[in-house]
Structure 1
Amino acid sequence: MSSCSVLLLLCLLAVHAISSESRLLSSGSSLDTAAGRLLRQYQPLASAAQGCSPGQYPTSQGGCEACPKGSWCPGGAAAPVPCSSGSSSGLTTQKQGATSVKQCVVPPGMRLTKKGSSLVEPCPKGQFRAGFAAAADAAALKCSKCSAGSTTTVAAATKKQDCKVLLPGYYWSRPGAKRGKPRAAGSVAPAQTADPVPRLCPQNSWCPGGIADATVTPTACPNGLWTEAMGATSQDECRVPPGHFLLGTGATATITPCSTGSLTTSPTQPGTYQPEWLLPNDTAAAACKSCGAGILSIANEPLAVYAADDDGTGRPKMLSVAATNISCYIRQGQGMVLDAGSTAADPVYKAVTCSSNSVGVPDTQYGLEEARCSECPDNMITANLFKSAITGGYYDVGACLVPPGYG
Structure 2
Amino acid sequence: MLIELWNRLRWMASQKVKELTGNFSTAADCNMDCKTCCLIDCDKGHYYTAGNCLECPVGFYCPGGRAAPRKCPVGTANQLTAQADIMACQACPDGYMSSETRAGCLLCPDGYSCDQHSGLWKSCNPGQYSPEGELECRVCPQGYVCPDGRNRQHCSAGQEPDPNYTHCVTCALGSLSTKETPGCQPCPAGHFCPDGFTAPPCPAGSFKPGEQFCKSSDSSCLSDAAKELQEESLSSNTELEI
Compute the TM-score of the two structures, normalised by the length of structure 1.
0.27
Compute the TM-score of the two structures, normalised by the length of structure 2.
0.41
Q: Which has the larger radius of gyration?
A: 1
Higher RCO (C-alpha 8 Å, min separation 6): 2
